[in-house]
Amino acid sequence: MSHPATRPFPEVLAPAGSPECLTAAVRCGAAAVYLGADSFNARRGAHNFTATELSEAVAYCHARGVAVHLTLNTLIRQEELEAAMDTAFMAASLGIDALIVQDVGLARPLRAAMPDMPLHASTQLSCHTPAGVAFLRDAGFSRVVLAREMTREEIAACAGLGVELEVFVHGALCMSVSGQCYFSAMLGGRSGNRGACAQTCRLPFSANKGDGRPASPEQAALSLKDNCLVDYVRELTALGVASFKIEGRMKRPEYVAAATTVYTAAARGETPSPEAMEQLGRVFSRSGFTDGYYTDRRGAGMFGVRRHEDVTAAAGVLKDLARLYDKEQPRVPVDMDFCLEGTESRLTVSDGDHDVTVTGKGGEAVQSRPLEPARVEEQLRKTGGTPFLADSVVCAIDPELTLPLSAVNALRREALERLLALRRAPRPVSCRREHRPADLPPVAPSSPCYLLRLATASQWSQVLAGTAVVLPLDTDAATITAIAAHSPVGIEIPRGMFGREEAIREALSRAKAAGAVFALCGNVGALPLATLAGLPAVGGFGLNLTNREAVSFYAEHGLAAATLSMELTFPQIRGLLPAPLPTGLLLYGHQPLMLTRNCPRRCAGASCKDCTGQGLTDRTGTAFPVMCVGGCSEVLNSVPLYWGDKPEDIPSVDFHLLHFTTEPAQQVAAVLTAYRQGGKPPAAITRGLYRRGVE
């Protein structure tokens, strides 16, 4: 495989959700493919590859100069770490070129066990800031797959930091920032963070009017059109993007062929043909395409659904697209050196890494017509049916000798077959299979305290005095100082920080000067900002901590305390305790189901300046509040999580996080009192996933 630094143009990374899709990707020019094994990947509904199929896939791709990236991009539970490592060891033995990882708890032992294996930080890590990119670089990742919601300016700000950048250029857009969606998990027990997303966002959701009524029952306020950045490939190349990623491991091979053909041409500096662009639009779209995130033009025009006419449009192009990959395409240049002298004919074929020499029978004395070099070269260049393309051909022929062309052809076939076998052979990545990093020493458990996350400082009252509170980043200094006189004050760094890193640095500095003593961090990019401001970092639920290795990773990188994943069950949480730093659980609140950069109310042309109480309604009439936070929107669960009446069921963590959003100050105080005294729950509540868990 060619290293990105030596490639003449950026990598086109195509999806391979099945062996057929892999063939389509390779034959249509992809420089790399990404695929999943039969577990621990974020597209469990794709075909995925058994160990035997994966071995063949790697051999097939490597023979043709194509890199293979394996997706191990789900959250891993403690009891699954050993099996996930075994999958990685199996992949390393086959010579996989990179592992795409979401869970830092898996990345930590992977880095120790196989230091030569490139690790790519999945877009599921929600990285979208320069500080986040630098953090992941320092943690041992060689590439960061950026969040799909970023503008050109935000991508540019992340370039040049000593790590490769990968950008999604085509395909489906999740409404939520990847890694920050809990909708499918909360409503149906199918976790998008574990590859089982039920695509709840594609169902009808209506944006409410100001009076709370749905604007239209037919809206798809959580469904975006597919991304298409083919017009910006040259610009992205100039920005320093190393890899152009095409979404679509759940799609058919014809889609893979169409997208790979278009983006490979664009990556090479060519203009894709009008026919290729038409085929791309017809094979799959949702009411057309969008470039709204990249161009910073968000709004109603970004929303779309898969219409009947979108489905029927594909029928007319599938046969033509299938022809793009029905035959082997020569893509590996080789040099050929043919010699006929004395009693031997000899052909050496070289691909730059391997040299193969085969010999045949000697020549015969010329009787009438000599063996001309041009005729030999013509035969040697007939490499059809193989992945090889004759680059240079040199012929040294004794003019007194001749040889049947059939013998020349036989030499060519034998040499190319042997070269293909060499290229297919596994090139294992070295591993220390016996190595498992030890966890940091566990901290002694303490009596649980409360940590109150407030959506606005107006929710604070004297009843909360003495209890640690977390205030919004935009809280003014005077208010922070006033509340800090009564309670330890933390500042929440928003999970969505798009283009706001410098402003957040300044706000944290002001907050610390005003009396804030810690920061709540729900994104990898927030930790370095908190550290720079001199504020101890408390990890929020957005870090998705599901195993002890992940907690240890963040402890090693400066986290002072951590909120464990709200997708774990109580028994699974007990299996992580005691942990190497103080841990807590989110135990009250309208849990955030989505973090989205495009306010869903814009789907109806509504304003998102004040979404409180003006959220979404689904097809059953259930209302989901929407709140604007830090330049993004959060879709909240319709009913609050509640555990105040069952303290005996809660694992022995160090703090209970009560996450307040739409509640007025009086209700905030009442909830805290109820939790302290074991009060009865409200009429409509959820126990979340702590009992039933997720797939």
Longest dimension (CA), the chain: 111
Q: Which of 299, 283, 302 is nearest to 225 (CA)?
A: 302
Q: Distance between CA atoms of 98 and 4, rounded to whole angstroms?
A: 13
Q: Which of 407, 391, 434, 287 is nearest to 347 (CA)?
A: 407
- Is the pLDDT score of 328 beyond 50? yes
Higher confidence at residue 314 or residue 136?
136
DSSP letter at 449 equals E
Mean pLDDT of 326-345: 94
Mean pLDDT of 59-65: 98
Contact between 22 and 35 under an 8 Å Cβ cutoff? The reply is yes
Higher confidence at residue 220 or residue 409?
409
* Token code pair at residue 415: 């040499």
**CA atoms within a 13 Å half-sphere pointing along the CA-CB vector of 327:** 7
* Token code pair at residue 615: 């959220």
Domain borders along the chain are 11-173+224-323, 332-424, 449-584+642-677
Give the CA dihedral 567, 448, 562, 84, nearest 10 degrees.
-50
Higher confidence at residue 466 or residue 307?
466
pLDDT band at 437 (very low <50, low <70, confident <90, very high): low
DSSP 115-184: TTS-EEE-GGG---SHHHHHHHHHTT-SEEE--TT--HHHHHHHSSSSSEEEEEEEE---SSPTT---HH
439 Cβ contact list (under 8 Å, min separation 6)? 548, 549, 552, 580
SS3 33: strand
DSSP letter at 684 equals S
SS3 444: coil
* Token code pair at residue 73: 């991009």
323 Cβ contact list (under 8 Å, min separation 6)? none
- Is the pLDDT score of 214 beyond 60? no
Q: Distance between CA atoms of 68 and 97, rounded to whole angstroms?
A: 5
Q: Which residue has the tokens 């960061």?
A: 144
pLDDT band at 47 (very low <50, low <70, confident <90, very high): confident
Residues for the chain: how many in total?
Answer: 695
Q: Distance between CA atoms of 307 and 286, rounded to whole angstroms?
A: 7
Q: Which residue has the tokens 């193989």?
A: 386
Amino acid at 524: V
- Is the pLDDT score of 424 beyond 90? yes
Q: 503-529, pLDDT tens digit by residue?
A: 999 999 999 999 999 999 999 999 999
Q: Distance between CA atoms of 89 and 430, rounded to whole angstroms?
A: 9
The CA–CA distances, whole Å, from 318 to 282, 574, 660 equal 9, 52, 51
Q: Distance between CA atoms of 6 and 350, rounded to whole angstroms?
A: 19
Contact between 678 and 644 under an 8 Å Cβ cutoff? The reply is yes
**Percentage of residues in the chain having pLDDT higher than 90:** 83
Structure confidence at residue 84 (pLDDT) = 95
555 Cβ contact list (under 8 Å, min separation 6)? 440, 562, 580, 581
Query: H helices within 575-623, ranges in order?
Result: none
From 225-239, 309-323, 457-471, 558-572, the region with the lowest mean pLDDT? 309-323
The CA–CA distances, whole Å, from 674 to 677, 679, 680 equal 5, 4, 7
Structure confidence at residue 474 (pLDDT) = 96
Q: Distance between CA atoms of 106 and 550, rounded to whole angstroms?
A: 7
Q: Kindly report the CATH class assigned to 11-173+224-323.
A: alpha beta
Do the domains 449-584+642-677 and 11-173+224-323 match in fold?
yes
Q: 237-278, pLDDT tens digit by residue?
A: 999 999 999 999 999 999 999 999 999 999 999 999 999 999
* Token code pair at residue 14: 């195509």
Q: What does pLDDT average to over the chain?
A: 93
- Is the pLDDT score of 208 beyond 90? no
Q: Distance between CA atoms of 91 and 411, rounded to whole angstroms?
A: 35
Q: Distance between CA atoms of 183 and 190, rounded to whole angstroms?
A: 9
pLDDT band at 211 (very low <50, low <70, confident <90, very high): very low
Q: Distance between CA atoms of 567 and 544, rounded to whole angstroms?
A: 8
Strand partners, 519: 491, 537
Q: 531-571, pLDDT tens digit by residue?
A: 999 999 999 999 999 999 999 999 999 999 999 999 999 99
SS3 188: helix
Sign of CA dihedral 472, 473, 479, 484: positive
Higher confidence at residue 640 or residue 437?
640
* E-strand stretches of 575-692: 583-589, 592-596, 616-618, 623-624, 626-629, 632-636, 641-642, 655-659
Contact between 328 and 386 under an 8 Å Cβ cutoff? The reply is yes
Contact between 163 and 241 under an 8 Å Cβ cutoff? The reply is no
Structure confidence at residue 404 (pLDDT) = 92
Distance of CA 606 to the CA centre of its chain: 30
Instruction: Identify the CATH homologous superfamily for domain 449-584+642-677.
Output: Aldolase class I (3.20.20.70)
Contact between 467 and 448 under an 8 Å Cβ cutoff? The reply is no
SS3 82: helix
Q: Distance between CA atoms of 234 and 599, rounded to whole angstroms?
A: 30
Q: Which residue has the tokens 């001199």?
A: 534
Phi, psi angle pair for 186, to nearest 5°: -70, -40
Phi, psi angle pair for 124, to nearest 5°: -65, -15
Q: Distance between CA atoms of 76 and 101, rounded to whole angstroms?
A: 10
- Is the pLDDT score of 162 beyond 70? yes
pLDDT band at 169 (very low <50, low <70, confident <90, very high): very high
* Token code pair at residue 377: 């070269």
Q: Distance between CA atoms of 493 and 473, rounded to whole angstroms?
A: 6
Q: At how many degrees (to 10) do helices 104-113 and 548-556 cross?
A: 80
Q: How far apart are the first and last CA of the chain?
A: 36
Structure confidence at residue 443 (pLDDT) = 85
Structure confidence at residue 206 (pLDDT) = 87
Q: Distance between CA atoms of 436 and 415, rounded to whole angstroms?
A: 44
Structure confidence at residue 69 (pLDDT) = 98
Higher confidence at residue 312 or residue 14?
14
Exposure class string for 69-87: b at 16+ Cβ within 10 A, else e:
bbbbbbbbbbebbeebbeb
Q: Distance between CA atoms of 147 and 227, rounded to whole angstroms?
A: 13
Q: Distance between CA atoms of 622 and 637, rounded to whole angstroms?
A: 10
**Percentage of residues in the chain having pLDDT higher than 70:** 94
Q: Which of 661, 658, 576, 648 is nearest to 615 (CA)?
A: 661
DSSP letter at 690 equals T
Q: Distance between CA atoms of 529 and 188, rounded to whole angstroms?
A: 35
DSSP letter at 363 equals P
- Is the pLDDT score of 59 beyond 70? yes
292 Cβ contact list (under 8 Å, min separation 6)? 298, 299, 301, 302, 598
Q: What is the 3-state secondary structure (H, E, C) of 319-350?
A: HHHHHCCCCCCCCEEEEEEEEEECCEEEEEEE
Q: 587-644, pLDDT tens digit by residue?
A: 999 999 999 999 887 766 655 555 555 688 898 999 999 998 888 999 999 999 999 9
